[in-house]
Each structure stands twice: as C-alpha cells, then as structure tokens.
Amino acid sequence: MSDLSQLTPQHLWQHFATICSIPHPSKHEEALAQHIVSWAKERKLFAERDAVGNILIRKPATPGMENRKSVVLQAHLDMVPQKNNDTEHDFEKDPIQPYVDGQWLKARGTTLGSDNGIGMASALAVLSDESLVHGPIEVLLTMTEETGMDGAFGLQPNWLKSEILINTDSETEGEIYMGCAGGVDCITTLPLSREALPAGYETFKISLKGLKGGHSGGDIHLGLGNANKLMARFLAAQTSELELRLLSFTGGTLRNAIPREATLVVAVPQSKVGALKQAAADYLTLIGHELSAVEKGISLQVDAFECGSKALTQDSQNRLVGLVNASPNGVMRMSDSVKGVVETSLNVGVVTTEQDCAQVLYLIRSLIDSGKQYVVEVLMSLGQLAGAEVKTKGGYPGWEPNPESPVMNLVSESYKKLFDTTPHVMVIHAGLECGLFKRPYPDMDMVSIGPTITGAHSPDEQVHIPSVSRYWQLLTQVLKSIPEKG
Ligand SMILES: [Zn+2]
C-alpha cells in the first residue's frame, strides 16, 4: 500500500487503497458497502441504502454554492474477479495487491478493480476533500453491475434529488460518453432428429481456427470473421455436391464475444473424401482473400475422426444450416444522430448441437429500444421458418445519445479549458448503467467520464496514473462550474 500513499491526488488514492483492502467481487460487496456507509456516518453525512443495497450519500454544498444544481456522482461497488492460473487468490477473503509499474498501477496476478474502483474513490474523495468547491452532491454506489446490473435495475424513482448524473465507469481519459447501447440475449432452440449414417460413409472433423475474435459490442464494426457464420456458409454451399451429412456443429463460447473457432463433425461417402478436402482448401483460400484486411491467421483443417453418433436427418440438417446461414450478423444500422457510431448490431455468438436439439445464442445491441426489438422480430421470423423456438433473456435499455446535453457540453468545455485540447465525445456500443437510470429518472442529464484503464475484466487490468490525475482535475473543475438551479 505504501506505493499508493505517494500518489496524488491523495484523497482519491487513499480511498482506492482502502477499496483494494476490502474484498468486493460481484455479489460479495457487502463488507465494502458497510465500511463505506459507516465511514460516511462518522463524517456526519446523510447515508442510506435501498432495498437492493445501493448506497446513497449526500454532502451539502460548500459555502456560496447552495444555489447550484445538485449532481449525482455514480460508480458501481463490485469488481470482476479474474486471476492468472498460477496465482493463489481468494477474491472473497484476500485483499487486492496493487503496485506501481512506471506510469501504471497494476495488481499482482489479479484484476485490479480500477473498474470502477477509481470512480468510486473519486466520489468518496469529493466527500472527504474539504478544499473543494461544489454545489449539493449525491454519491450513488450501485450493487453488482458486472454480473447483471442488479443495482441499476433496482433503482427506485424519487430517491435521488439531483437533475445531473456523472457516471465514472468509462475507460479512456480524453473521451466523454453521452450514450450507450442496450442489449438483449436471444436463444433459438431447434429440435433435431437423427438417423444412422448410410453405408460407406466416413466421418471427419472440420476445425476453423485462428480468427481474431473480439468484443461483440466494441469490435462489431470491424468486419471480423465470425466462425459460426463461416462454417454455416461452407455447409450450405457444399452439402448437396458432397452428399455431406452433419453430425455436430459447435462454435463460440460466449454470447458477447465474436466467435474465433468452430468445429463440425461431418460424414461423406468414400468417393467424396478427396472432394471434401479440396472444397475445404478452396474455401480457406476464398475466405482468406475476402477477409485479408482484418484476419491474417485463419486455418481450416479436415481430420479423420471416429464418431459413434448418429447423423442429423436431412430435414434437421437443412433447418439448422439454413437457420445459421440466414441469420443476420454484425452491424444492422449506423446511428443518424452520431456519425460513425453503430446504432444496432448482433453477434451470432454460440452454436451447439446436442442429441435432440441445437441452440444458437445471439446478443443484440442497440442505442434505441426499437432497434433491438426489430432484430428480435427478425430472429423470431427466422426461427419460425426453421421450426425453432425463440426466446429472449436479460434485456436492458440503451442510453440514447443527446448531443444537446448541457452536462456533456459543460464537461467538454471544461476539458478544453483545462487541457487545451478537444475531447472526443463518444457513444459506446456496449452497456453502461445509465440506460437503466433513465427509467426511474427520465429527465436526468447524464454524462460518463473516467481515467484510462486497459485490460479491464482480466488479470492484465491496469490504470494509467497520470490519467487519474487529469480525470480528477476535470471532475472537480466541472463540479465548480455546475450552473445555478433554473
Ligand atoms: Zn465497470
């Protein structure tokens, strides 16, 4: 911890050191939450929790600032618990061990929790630093953001009194966020029938590997290869020529990651074995050429494979291949209100086959609820054509960008004045809690800022120390400049 005590701004880093010392992985934030509430009460600040555990702390305006609009500073309490295979660490008991490495703060073998611990520390620093000048402050710390946004879902109307909210959960200093995409999972389940392979068939495993993959929100516009889509296309094109029979189709691991790998088990008549290998080699050349600007390492391998399983009936095979091949994927529409930003997208994330059914998992994202709904309806129609059942799960709303937002413009102006450069005003094609805050507080004027964090959600997570100082300067300057109540 001695490392951290040398850093400035001191209040912020002291709070972060305390946060690191109290375990707070998602769903186990209680110890940290109780510590913060007692700390606030000792300081004679109003502090209370709601039914889902969110914390609200109020600090009155500093002298002469009573007339300013009230501001919510918001962060989430939990962190993602990830560690390296060779690291011994119990996230529910052991403190995080931060250390300074040049300009970066890292943790020993684990996630650091700078997402959103620095934001939380900055909000607490505003409460404890008596040298600051600001209007009325509300600090809102939400529960369990990383595994379902439980706190944001549970936030009730009429609890917060402010009309402005500053979210501290974005991860690039110099970027100001004014909107984010919402999301919903779609799960399509197709019943499968199977039968014995005809006599004289040989089975093979076809493995597609080496695609880059990436975040299904942030990287969806890059035109990367989707292993599931590429495999379905191969099957659709080759099935009748090769008299190919499908035994299994497995691709991707997470609905929110662009799938890097997919594996098929197929069978062809002995007379078509040479043609299968040739078709795979030709297809690799074709997709390698089509995707040459973005994918450099694709491999497609055909190996003899013993498999006792029965094949899909021709009808089941046609339905499954048709379903995946006809599924839309990637960017569906760009935003009209913010140039260069994706409005609506989807990722065909995971395909699996069991004995009697196949499943396709999609993640749909959109800045607007109706964009998400449109894609859900497309997938419903497709499921109907294929004879599959389509369900949705875990939907959360987007935060529709407002280029006229007064607080966003104030943050942008303050940044220009402080650092003599124009910040990038952005919309993130992934989830922030702000979309959910708009439900109980539809008129809240919101913006999101934060320091530069890389490798979030992995043991490589690190925060750029000088960016924390700039973020703090920006935050405190904005609080000083909040306009008077209208
Ligand atoms: Zn976060």
Say how many Å lie between the CA of residue 218 and the centre of ligand 1: 15
Q: Of 29, 145, 169, 461, which one is the catalytic site residue?
A: 145
Q: Of 78, 169, 343, 400, which one is the catalytic site residue?
A: 78
Q: What pLDDT does residue 349 have? A: 95
SS3 annotation, the chain: CHHHHCCCCHHHHHHHHHHHHCCCECCCCHHHHHHHHHHHHHCCCEEEECCCCCEEEEECCCCCCCCECCEEEEEECCECCCECCCCCCCCCCCCCCEEEECCEEEECCECCCHHHHHHHHHHHHHHHCCCCCCCCEEEEEECCCCCCCHHHHHCCCCCCCCCEEEECCCCCCCEEEEEECEEEEEEEEEECCEECCCCCEEEEEEEEECCCCEECCCCHHHCCCCHHHHHHHHHHHHHHHHCCEEEEEEECCCCCEECCCEEEEEEEEHHHHHHHHHHHHHHHHHHHHHCCCCCCCCEEEEEECCCCCCEECHHHHHHHHHHHHHCCCEEEEECCCCCCCEEEEEEEEEEEECCCEEEEEEEEEECCHHHHHHHHHHHHHHHHHHCCEEEEEEEECCECCCCCCHHHHHHHHHHHHHHCCCCEEEEECCCCCHHHHCCCCCCCEEEECCCCEECCCCCCCEEEHHHHHHHHHHHHHHHHHCCECC
Q: What pLDDT does residue 202 have? A: 96
Question: String of b and e for 281-296 (b: at least 16 CB within 10 Å)?
Answer: eebbeebbeebeeebe
Report the distance separating Cα 16 and Cα 121, nearest Å: 5
Say how many Å lie between the CA of residue 179 and the centre of ligand 1: 15
Contact by Cβ (8 Å): 28, 92? yes
Contact by Cβ (8 Å): 392, 185? yes
Say how many Å lie between the CA of residue 117 and the centre of ligand 1: 9
Amino acid letter, 405:
S
Q: Is the dihedral of CA 84, 219, 165, 419 positive or negative?
A: positive
Q: What pLDDT does residue 5 have? A: 86
**pLDDT category, 439, cuts 50, 70, 90?**
very high
**pLDDT category, 2, cuts 50, 70, 90?**
low
Does the pLDDT of residue 242 top 70, yes or no? yes
Average pLDDT of the chain is 95
Q: What pLDDT does residue 420 have? A: 97
This prediction's pTM: 0.82
Tokens 């050191």 identify what position? Answer: 17
Q: What is the dihedral of CA 40, 145, 398, 460, to 10 degrees?
A: 110
Q: What pLDDT does residue 255 have? A: 85
Selection from 421, 384, 388, 426 nearest residue 405 by Cα: 426
Say how many Å lie between the CA of residue 128 and the centre of ligand 1: 23
Strand partners, 100: 105
Say how many Å lie between the CA of residue 171 and the centre of ligand 1: 8
Percent with pLDDT over 70 in the chain = 100
Whole-number CA gyration radius for the chain: 26
Does the pLDDT of residue 176 top 60, yes or no? yes
Say how many Å lie between the CA of residue 331 and the centre of ligand 1: 24
pLDDT mean over 106-118: 96
Annotation says 78 is catalytic:
yes
Report the distance separating Cα 275 and Cα 273, nearest Å: 5
pLDDT mean over 115-129: 98
Annotation says 460 is catalytic:
no
Strand partners, 176: 425
Selection from 458, 451, 463 nearest residue 105 by Cα: 463
Contacts of 283 by beta carbon, 8 Å cutoff, 6+ apart:
234, 237, 238, 300
Does the pLDDT of residue 1 top 50, yes or no? no
Q: What pLDDT does residue 68 have? A: 98
Q: Crossing angle of helices 314-326/369-386, nearest 10°?
A: 160
Tokens 């709904």 identify what position? Answer: 373
Selection from 243, 217, 234, 226 nearest residue 351 by Cα: 226
Contact by Cβ (8 Å): 84, 74? no
Say how many Å lie between the CA of residue 169 and the centre of ligand 1: 5
Distances (CA, A) of 32 to 216, 365, 461: 32, 32, 21
pLDDT digits (tens, 9 = 90+) for 398-418: 998 998 999 999 999 999 999
pLDDT mean over 286-313: 95
Amino acid letter, 257:
A
Q: Is the peptide bond before 9 cis (omega within 30 degrees of 0)?
A: yes
**pLDDT category, 3, cuts 50, 70, 90?**
confident
pLDDT digits (tens, 9 = 90+) for 318-369: 999 999 999 999 999 999 888 888 999 999 999 999 999 999 999 999 999 9
Report the distance separating Cα 427 and Cα 171, nearest Å: 12
Tokens 């299904």 identify what position? Answer: 216
**pLDDT category, 421, cuts 50, 70, 90?**
very high
